[in-house]
Amino acid sequence: MTAIIAGALAGLGGAAAYDSLTDDASVRPSNTSLDSPASNVSDKPAPKGSVQEVANAILPSVVMINAGAGSGSGIVISADGLILTNNHVVEGASEGGELAVSFNDGSTASADVLGTDPVTDLAVIQAEDVSGLKPATLGSSSDLAVGQQVVAVGSPFGLDSTVTSGIVSALNRPVSAGGSGQGEPTVFPAVQTDAAINPGNSGGPLVNMRGEVIGINSAIYSPTSITGQSGSVGLGFAVPIDEARPIANQLVDGEEPSHAQIGVTVTNQSGENGLSGGAQVHSIEEDSAADGAGLEQGDLITRVDEHVITTSDDLVAIVRTFRPGDEVSLTVLRDGDEQQIDLTLGSDTE
């Protein structure tokens, strides 16, 4: 697993985070606003298994979120107005800003931030005084396959109810995203897709051909244009729904979000050929999972279960695919000898 994309995103310092409400509102066409939504759900029967069928199923569950300076997207997860989106879409509202939500039928509502998790770049908001909404069907990201067809829906550049399609290009891609100048970027194990994702798509769904949400569109890699505005070059990244679901449940329940951790700091280790060869343990937190399992400073972690680890970002991303309390097996090189170390993952809330 290469971390080149993650490095490029971090190096640009915002191509990922720029897939958010921070895009300059002046670049959005003047005829796109909360008062003029597109109406894209067709009454005509769609061919079975087509993108049109998927679009008809998911569009009523996708919203446009306006936060004043720009816009993002969100996914309806309850009939009474719970909406899942990205933290970087709503972080301005968390600091006193206002949120407005535009639904697919043209109706609008004010919204409040229910909870945020900068670590996974997720948030849940509550639309006020709404009922009878159509919640999206949340699928599973554990059975995704490279090459599988997917559909992305959202409001790129303020163009609500926009549908694009593509394939799953890679899985568990370590991507640094979410930081927008006020918060530290986070690394997540992304579903990579070539479906067009642009600024404003953040928080919208990546959907399989059964119309089930399998990811939350969160980041793009895009060389910044001469105008300073990023755009799609076929490298989009979504938070897998299996990682998003437990965090969303905790936010809805008013709990502090928890994340699995080993309890180490790591650095990249290059092999003789100059390529990254694993994540080397730099320090170990006392009484952590790593401490209890016998990891030592200088150990080189090369696998977590069946997942190959070539960089420190790989390790962070893969660990975040698990939950606190899960058991994993680490493949470790110590003094030239390979060994297996089993441990139970800790929690960052303990």
* CA–CA dist 342, 170 (Å, integer): 27
CA 224 to chain centre: 21
105 annotated active-site: no
Cα angle vertex 63, ends 62, 65, to 5°? 145
307 annotated active-site: no
Q: Is the dihedral of CA 248, 251, 253, 256 positive or negative?
A: positive
Catalytic residue among 88, 218, 288, 299: 88
Residue with tokens 């290469």: 2
Q: Is the dihedral of CA 261, 262, 263, 264 positive or negative?
A: negative
Give the list of residues 6+ apart from residue 62 with CB closer than 8 angstroms, or none: 73, 74, 75, 76, 104, 136, 153, 154, 161, 204, 205
259 annotated active-site: no
Catalytic residue among 23, 117, 121, 314: 121
Asked if 191 contacts 22 with a C-beta cutoff of 8 angstroms, the reply is no
Beta bridge partners of 112: 126
Catalytic residue among 141, 176, 202, 258: 202
- Active-site positions? 88, 121, 202
